[in-house]
Structure 1
Amino acid sequence: MGQTVILGVIGSDAHVVGITILEQALSAAGFDVKNLGVQTSKDEFVSAAQKHDTGAVLVSSLYGHARQDCQGLHKQLADTECDAVTYIGGNLSVGQDDWDDTREHFRELGFNRVFDAETDPSAVVSALERDLDHRTAEPETQRVRMNS
């Protein structure tokens, strides 16, 4: 199996479609995905990151309250000496008028990458491969030489 990635929807958010699609894309790319599902607390993210010695924690939020839900997440991860890369994506703020301000806010909270709700899953996979130096294993091929 590949590098372990924790995935979930934070807070009271119950939007499941996005993380399901992302889970499939990450699994197909060779990552070992632990999907925590919807309505995941910060404590659950931190506990899963510790339990699975994860390389990345991916937080999703579509209901617009991620600013509140993510307060203190990185402190909790640091307190457990978790050094996973962290991503967040979705509709992160109610009235998200200025995406640059929203992205900067979540960068200040400690997220390594911030994605909007329109991000293609392949962009997340590519970013994780770069950030984790993950190489998807190519199936080995053997050449059979025929003697004439």
Structure 2
Amino acid sequence: MSNTPIASVLFVCVHNAGRSQMAAGFLSHLAGEQVEVRSAGSLPAEQVNPAAVDAMKEVGIDISDSTPKVLTTDAVQASDYVITMGCGDACPVFPGKKYLDWELDDPAGKGVEAVRPIRDQIKTRIESLIADIRREDSSG
């Protein structure tokens, strides 16, 4: 099997501190090198939401070294899938990209107890996304 990723995914949320970071963590963990993973936001926060970091640690995924990044046109152009996280962030639109919007509660300002259900919803969506990517890759 080739080490070349079969797809690239960009997760976008305004602050790139919670939902998009958890999604990127899950996708990297579950898909490994099969999928290239990016995340960004239009107004990135200074750090990843500590409750999101703690919630992900509970499921064995460490996103504590992640840093919020600014959304660039290049990141969108380089991605096959662009997934906004229900945060109303605007992305440049390019032909041939798959755009999805996942409506998810915002974990900002919430404790880990409130972030867990959001984390679990993201995991379910990531598992479905991986299945879709693999199905598209095999149908060629």
Q: What TM-score do the two structures reach when normalised by structure 2?
A: 0.49
Q: In terms of Rg, which structure is larger?
A: 1
Larger RCO (CA within 8 A; separation ≥ 6): 2
TM-score (norm 1): 0.47
